[in-house]
Amino acid sequence: MKHPEGQTVTEAFEEVYMKFKLHFYREIFGTFSSREATLTTVETFCMEVIYAMQCPTINEFASFIQISPPNAAYKVNNLIKKGYVEKIRSTKDKREYYLRPTQKYLDYYDISSSYLHQVLRRLTDRLPKADQDKLQEILNIMSNELMQEVPEYKHLEADADI
């Protein structure tokens, strides 16, 4: 399907996604002048997965990114040492630990999420309510029905003390 400008939906979505990534990278590189880069690229990706999975266990994290549990534990321990993640003991199973991003990571993550929220505020200011509702419906279909390869993790509800 082509848009009036001659762009397909795929091309338009890829362009928006790329602009979000470019903005994030520019902001991250801009902060390097005021502080040393403390997360490697792989660590950044690991933190994004841990954050998105909403407090996974080390085994869930390892399984999701398809690495061995010892390799995942090594990566997690490095993130703990750098102060970006903490292990929280389960209240239901004392042998189980959940991975929770620290405020240090949340401050880092805010660099990208604040721009996302800014763009979405601009969009909702511009779109009529009916279009906003349709966009919400489309995004819900994408997330809930068309992205089965990415499971949802909701440990926060299952283990209330996290």
pLDDT tens track for 107-159: 887 877 888 899 999 999 999 999 999 999 999 999 889 988 887 766 544 55
Provide CB contacts within 8 A for 159, sequence distance 6+.
Answer: 55, 90, 91, 92, 98
Contact by Cβ (8 Å): 84, 101: yes
Architecture of domain 39-158 in this structure: Orthogonal Bundle (1.10)
Domain ranges of the chain: 1-37, 39-158
Higher-scoring residue by pLDDT: 40, 77: 77
Closest CA to 101 of 23, 25, 26, 162: 162
pLDDT tens digits, 73-112: 999 999 999 999 999 998 888 889 999 999 999 988 787 7
